Structure 1
Amino acid sequence: IIDDDDEEPEPPVEPGTVGFAVTNTDVDEGGTATVTVERIGGTDGDVTVDYATSNGTADSDDYTSASDTLAFGDGETSKTFEVDTTQDTRVEADETVDLTLSNPTGGATIGDGDATLTITDDDEEEPEPPAEPGTLGFSAQDYPVQEGEAATITVTRTGGSDGSVSLTYATDDPTARAARAAAADGYTPTTGTLTFADGVTSRTFTVQTTDDDVDEPDETIALSLSDATGGATLDDAGATVTIVDDDPAVTDPGDDTDPVDGGDGADPVDGGGGTDGGASGGGSDDGTPANPAASALPDTGGPNLGLPVLGAALLLAGAALTVGRRRRDA
């Protein structure tokens, strides 16, 4: 018997090739990605490989960086590691994290050593709030102003200020004003447009009043708003301007002048003093009456009827003389 002493050669060691099982992995924002590294083409012996993450379009706020070493025992074909992502409320595009393998040992080589982890954003964009152009109206119901000054009228925008809006303002009908012009109305009729830009909440216009020297009651001017645009609405669209009169009241000083006695309080009939009673008058030192007409009147001893009666009698007498002359001349 011949013994065969030839031995079979040992097969070559095949530690294999390590690489990412999938080169593109997705994970929802806030979730944890499980990344698989596989060993193919051989599993002989112990091998290791390093892994690491790095920023792609994602930054450090979007995930927790990870790096370590994966160790494959003899015969092992798969290892995993995890990458934690961060939840936020930002509406943003999907973002990426780069994954790499390096430094294989045990005779292993690296196959697919690069991969991408995509973080899928799960935040929904908030719907645009509806535009709120607001409501336009007078800031007050009445605007007092001193006669001759300009009244400043404020129009406000409330309940929203989105976009550009406008309105028309006016004083009352100029025709109506013209009809009252003779009564010393004192203001200049006006109309115009107020425009509120986006975000603007207040605008003003003026009404000029006219000073005069007529004492009169306070007067009012009607104001109105109309024709709102830009989606705005109107409220408190009517108001007044009150013109406060500044002229002093005219008072009658009274007239105590007597048309008969000339205003000095002396009685022309009795020539002055009027202290003797009756109509006889005071007279002079020689006993001659100061007023012959007065001496012709009988002294009744009663109360003095005063100048009104005597004056009327004298006027009638004068009128009779005038008529007589005209007839004689005719």
Structure 2
Amino acid sequence: MTDLSQALAPARPRLAGRLKLALCIFALMAAVPPLAHALGEPFLIVVATRMMVFAIAALSLDLILGYGAMVSFGHAAYLGFGAYAVAVLSRAGIDDLFLHLLAGIAASAVFAALTGAISLRTRGVYFIMITLAFGQMAFFFFVSFSTLGGDDGVALTARSTVLGMPLLQGAQGMFYVTLALLVLVFAGLYRLTLSRFGRVLTGTRESALRMQAIGFRPFPYQLTAYVIAGCLCSIAGVLLANQAIYVSPAYMSWHRSGEMIVMLVLGGIGSLTGAMVGGLVTIALEEGLARYSEHWRLGFGLILVLVALFSPGGLSGLLRRLGLGRDAT
């Protein structure tokens, strides 16, 4: 029972370190546009925007995987729902970013509630496989959606507008809107994980049987977290569609779900700052290594193996061992 009490109690000494590291990350990202212009490398803004998009996706997955111990191989489906919300509404003449976000979140919430209610009745490898099956069902649905390009995807005519203003049309505007949403998602998850809901979810991860013994039913908490994670991932999908000005079923394949799990392993599972770092570093490594070799995945795999062997807590664990960002989990 002592372990359960520790799991349910918010670890106050760690919170200051977590926030300091997160604030440092946000400050560094905010400095990218002026630095890119100073270096004469505006492409860095585009890369940094993509990094932040996947940081949001990694944060959403960490809620269910890191805090709820739910290994989903269909999480990328929600990335696709957000992206296709932009494509469908844009074709209908609706260009507002907030309406795109609302549509993506609504579609993801419905899909997550229905599939989660079924998936959460299983455990272990069965949960992994059923989430994979649901994710692939969504993937093949959009592959067969010929009016939106099917397997080839569809190009957008323009990016979303913000209250009628073309804030996303330029790379810098797109960057700062993405940064603002990243901050909001992190802040929301930070508060959520510290709340009673978050502590019960963490306690369920440690021991569902013990949680039931003290009067908590894990299922409603897990399903709620599952739906919230899907909705947050759809935000990343909306941003990804705008950043690429293109939508494809490839966004929601099981390979993409696997990549998001890799981001958590690299950054640190069960750590919001770790998830954010994992998303940022993974995309940065992909872009950087791809410039030097078409076999960049070999180098990336080697880095991942080294992190897994020498820093099981991911990059956030490595920072703690080095005395940097102490307790920033």
TM-score of the aligned structures, taking structure 2 as reference length: 0.17
- Higher strand fraction: Structure 1 or Structure 2? 1
Taking structure 1 as the reference length, what is the TM-score of the superposition?
Answer: 0.17
Tell me which structure has the larger Cα radius of gyration: 1
